[in-house]
Each structure stands twice: as structure tokens, then as C-alpha cells.
Structure 1
Amino acid sequence: MVLNSFLNHIFRYGWASPTTLLGLLFASLLLLTGASARWVDGVIEVAGGWLAQTLVQTSGFAALTLGHVVLGCSAECLQRLRPHEHVHVRQAERWGLLFVPAYLLAGLWQWLRGRHAYYDNLFEQEAFAAESVESVR
């Protein structure tokens, strides 16, 4: 049973690794601009730095998940958004290399239907649902 759990764990990390590598690339850029990093529940969280602040001001997004890497504007922000962002980590584990294209296509599909590319995206709806369940606890 322990071996099965270990192999499942390795598979999930391996399957998500292409997206995680992209996250590590972005994390490196944030770290070079003053961000800090920490390990939380199997995920690398990178917070702060002037580049993150600039991206938040231009894009409006406070956090971004790429595989097992979560990038955020601050540690407080990441703590608040952790339930939401960790849903995206699990999505990356399920979708693997296909996660980023599937996420973008889901948003494009909603936009083409005249809906909101972010809020109506099925990946985001799953994350928002988990976030609201966590806030009830």
C-alpha cells in the first residue's frame, strides 16, 4: 500500500512536470526581483518582488498556478488564495502537459460564446467552488 501511494505520488508530479518547469522558470524571475519562496503541502509558493507587483498592476491577477508552483503578489495573498490555487495544482496533476492548453481553450470557448473567459472557465469554476467550501469551514 505504501509503495502504491509512493508511485501514485511520483506519477502525479511527473505528469505535471512540464507545467511545473514552466512555473519554475517564472518563479526564478520573481526570485531575482526580490520574491521569497516556501514549500507548502507539496507546492512551491513564490511571493512578492517588484516583478510580481508590476504584473498584478498590469494584469489584475493576484496569483497564478503552473503545475506545483504557485506565484503570487504576497505571502498573505497566497495564504488567502491557497484553497483556490491548490485546486489548480490538482488540475495540473490530472491534465499534465495538456493543462495550460486546455485551460486557455476553455477560456477561449467561453469568450467565443459571449461569456467571461475567466469567471466562466470550467477550471476556474471548480477552483471557486473549492474556495467557497473552504471559507465555510
Structure 2
Amino acid sequence: MGKSGRLLRYLWAGPYTVLGLLLGGCAVLFGARMQRHDGVVEVSGGLIGRTLAKLPPTLGFAAMTLGHVILAIDRSALAQLRLHEHVHVRQYERWGPFFLPAYLLSSLLQLLRGRHPYRENHFERQAYAVVAEHRRLVRDSIRG
């Protein structure tokens, strides 16, 4: 895709990217590290990351994506979850401002069906499937 297509994807996901940059900027003020990787701003660590890491598993998270910004509790979590989170970046590019409402609706539907709202969320299942396929391809290439 050319520059105009790339620009449209950034603009379409832009409202969430701005929110991610604001949150990431606050995290940097408290010691987080910010870097760019594959067209995505990544923010990790710092006081906020350490605080989030101490939350109970039901309330916490290791990483989350807002548009073209990935926020992670630390560099290790970022490295482990980068591929998964980049799937979410692509989802933001597809869904734009409708991504977060669609994500929340998917979680709500799973909850109403008696299923786990995170693990059974359509968008999470898609991200986990991409990671599983990537791992399968790596494993097969190592085996020869």
C-alpha cells in the first residue's frame, strides 16, 4: 500500500492513537521508555507499569493497544506480546473509531453467553490465532 493508504490508516485510527500518546506521555513523565517500532509507538515500564503489574490478574494487563500506540508494563512484556498487540494495531486500522465499541460489544456478548469476556472476545481470538500460526511457522522452519 502506498503513502496515501498508509496515511489513511493512521488517520482512521487517529483518535485512539492520540489517546494512546497522551497516556504514553504521562507514563514517560513517570519513567517509562518510549520507542518506535514498525510504525508503532511503544511505551513500556516506569512507575505506572510497575503499579499495573501489581494489580490482581482480573484487573491488570501486561500490554494494551490504542491505535498506533502499545502500552506495556515493562520491556519484557512488550517483547513477548509485540506480535499480539500488532494484530490489534491492524484491527484499529480496519475498524477505526468503531474498534473500541466493537471490542467492548464482543466482550459483552461473550459475558452474556456465559463465556470469558477476554479469552472469547472475537478480536482477542484473532490476535491469539495469528500468534499461534506464527509460532507454528517458526517451529516448522526450525524442524526443517
Shorter-chain-normalised TM-score: which range? over 0.9
Q: How well do the aligned residues superpose, as a CA RMSD in angstroms?
A: 1.1
Q: Which has the higher contact order (CA 8 A, sep 6+)?
A: 1
- What number of residue pairs does the alignment pair up? 134
Q: Distance in 1 between matches of 2:97 and 2:54?
A: 29
Residue from 35, 38, 41 that aligns with 1:41? 38
Note if 1:103 corresponds to 2:103. yes
Q: Is there any run of 5+ residues in structure 2 with no aligned partner, and where?
A: 139-144
Q: Is the partner of 1:91 in helix, strand or coil?
A: helix
Unaligned runs of 5+ in 1: none
Q: Secondary structure at the match of 2:54?
A: helix
TM-score (norm 2): 0.89
Q: After TM superposition, give the deviation of residue 82 of structure 1 in Å.
A: 0.8
CA contact (8 A) 1:64 1:71 kept: yes
Identical-pair percentage: 49
Q: Which residue of 2 aligns with 1:5?
A: 2
Where has structure 1 moved over 4 Å in runs of 4 or more?
none
1:125: Cα distance to partner?
0.2
Which of 1 and 2 has greater Rg?
A: 2
Equivalent-residue separation in structure 2 for 1:57 and 1:101 (angstroms): 28
Q: Structure 2 CA distance, aligned partners of 1:50 and 1:114?
A: 36
> Given the alignment, which residue of 15, 23, 35 partners 1:18?
15
Q: Is the 8 A contact 1:19 1:99 kept in 2?
A: no
* C-alpha distance in structure 2 between counterparts of 1:74 and 1:134, whole Å: 23
Give the Cα separation in 2 of the matches to 1:74 and 1:51: 10
1:23 CA displacement: 0.8
Cα deviation, residue 56, structure 1: 2.8
**TM-score, length basis structure 1:** 0.93
